């Protein structure tokens, strides 16, 4: 089973197209990147068919998976080619070998199937305490007590086990339990209303579906890349001033001017880690990943075990892997 992939050094925000600089936790560049799938082996199967899934809500889930895979575009083109599952027998075995034979009829590389194991909504009563006045003297409260209020928590749980089968070999190349939950609380004194069980279950199913797509497909996200401000690591006074000037430009949202200052600083201090690292950020933010990796690698030779540099190298390598994976 392919291992889960973590994303080193990434602070992920909303999926929007944006380039800016943040200063709330130190200066950082915010840029849109292509993230690799968590399971690298699964992402190789781009010509697929999605079969109905067993269990409650299985047909609805399979239809949503098919729709989401068809709607995924990367670099201006559809990432998956999804065939419609036609002429299926009324009872299809879950045996991977038999499923692979059916998949070969569709002319696909991979076949998605699976089982929904849990699709439940449950209401549980609980109590909250309120501080209320129980004794008044005129318009003034002279005694308070804690009063119970009886509330309801409605919780939906959706669990399914997807399987991706290699049609050529019948091998299961990806499978795991995926859980989605959604919960809401309501108390009568706050005039809160609960979503219907169906609405909450759909929310839990969407959560699980998003987790599944993160496993098997690349996606765009906005990431926050920190800049280096370590002035003491730049011995040359002029280069140190250029490093500081670049940071000020970056805080003002002028990364282009910041990078100009850091390139001039590099001429004065070619071994200064903050200068090398920030030039790597400049290249990464503009999509020049090979150049970025070169700058970060030079910084690593000087910085030893600096975690920011290590994270940057791993991050860029993952981005390069993700971009290579989407090439036709």
240 pLDDT band, cuts 50/70/90, is: very high
Reported as a single tens digit per residue, the pLDDT across 145-184 is 999 999 999 999 999 999 999 999 999 999 999 999 999 9
Class of domain 42-123+151-217: alpha beta
Q: Range with the lowest mean pLDDT among 84-93, 230-239, 262-271, 286-295?
A: 84-93
> Model confidence at 15, in pLDDT bands (50, 70, 90)?
very low
Cα dihedral 310, 3, 179, 173, rounded to 10, equals: 140
pLDDT score, position 149: 94
Residue 321 has pLDDT above 90, yes or no: no
The single residue listed with the structure tokens 């987790």 is 211
Instruction: State if pTM tops 0.75.
Output: no
pLDDT at 21 over 70: no
Q: What is the pLDDT of residue 211?
A: 96
d(CA 279, CA 281): 5
Q: What is the mean pLDDT of the chain?
A: 87
pLDDT tens, position by position, 184-223: 999 998 888 999 999 999 999 999 999 999 999 988 888 8
**Any idea where the domains of the chain sit in the sequence?**
42-123+151-217, 230-325
What is the token pair recorded at 138?
């005129």
Around Cβ 111, how many Cβ atoms within 10 Å? 25
Q: What is the DSSP letter of 54?
A: B
Q: What percent of the chain has pLDDT over 70?
A: 89
What is each CA distance from 135 to 132, 138, 145, in whole angstroms? 9, 10, 9
Cβ-proximal residues to 273 (8 Å cutoff; 6+ apart), any chain? 228, 230, 233, 299, 302, 303, 306, 309
d(CA 174, CA 215): 9
Per-residue pLDDT tens for 109-142?
A: 999 999 999 999 999 999 999 999 999 998 999 9
3-class state of residue 242 by DSSP: helix
Cα distances from 125 to residues 186, 234, 311, 326, in angstroms, run 10, 62, 46, 49
Rounded to whole angstroms, the Cα distance separating 37 from 218 reads 5
The CATH superfamily of 230-325 is: Tetratricopeptide repeat domain (1.25.40.10)
Whether 91 shows a pLDDT value over 70: the answer reads no
Same fold across 42-123+151-217 and 230-325:
no
User: How many residues are listed for the chain in this entry?
Assistant: 328
Q: Which two tokens stand for residue 160?
A: 């399914």
Helix, strand, or coil (residue 117) = strand
Q: Judge whether residue 17 has pLDDT over 50.
A: no
């Amino acid at each position: 089973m392919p291992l889960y992939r973590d994303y080193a050094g990434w602070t992920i925000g909303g999926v929007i197209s944006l380039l800016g600089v943040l200063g709330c936790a130190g200066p950082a560049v915010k840029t849109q990147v292509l993230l690799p799938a968590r399971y690298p082996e699964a992402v190789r199967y781009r010509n697929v068919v999605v079969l109905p899934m067993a269990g409650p809500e299985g047909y609805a889930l399979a239809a949503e998976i098919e729709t989401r895979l068809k709607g995924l575009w990367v670099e201006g083109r559809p990432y998956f080619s999804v065939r419609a599952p036609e002429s299926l027998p009324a009872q299809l075995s879950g045996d991977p070998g038999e499923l692979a034979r059916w998949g070969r009829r569709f002319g696909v590389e991979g076949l998605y199937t699976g089982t929904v194991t849990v699709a439940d909504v449950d209401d549980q009563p609980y109590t909250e305490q309120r501080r209320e006045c129980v004794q008044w003297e005129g318009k003034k409260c002279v005694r308070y007590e804690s009063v119970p209020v009886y509330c309801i928590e409605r919780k939906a749980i959706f669990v399914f086990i997807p399987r991706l089968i290699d049609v050529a070999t019948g091998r299961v190349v990806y499978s795991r339990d995926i859980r989605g939950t959604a919960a809401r609380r309501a108390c009568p004194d706050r005039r809160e209303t609960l979503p219907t069980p169906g609405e909450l279950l759909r929310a839990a199913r969407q959560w699980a579906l998003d987790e599944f797509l993160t496993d098997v497909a690349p996606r765009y996200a906005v990431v926050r890349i920190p800049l280096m401000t370590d002035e003491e690591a730049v011995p040359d006074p002029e280069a140190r001033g250029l490093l500081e000037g670049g940071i000020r430009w970056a805080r003002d949202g002028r990364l282009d001017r910041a990078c100009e200052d850091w390139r001039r600083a590099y001429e004065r201090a070619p071994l200064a880690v903050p200068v090398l690292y920030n030039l790597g950020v400049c290249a990464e933010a503009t999509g020049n990943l090979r150049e970025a990796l070169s700058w970060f690698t030079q910084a690593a030779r000087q910085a030893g075990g600096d975690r920011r540099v290590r994270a940057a190298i791993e991050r860029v390598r993952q981005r390069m892997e993700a971009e290579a994976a989407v090439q036709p």
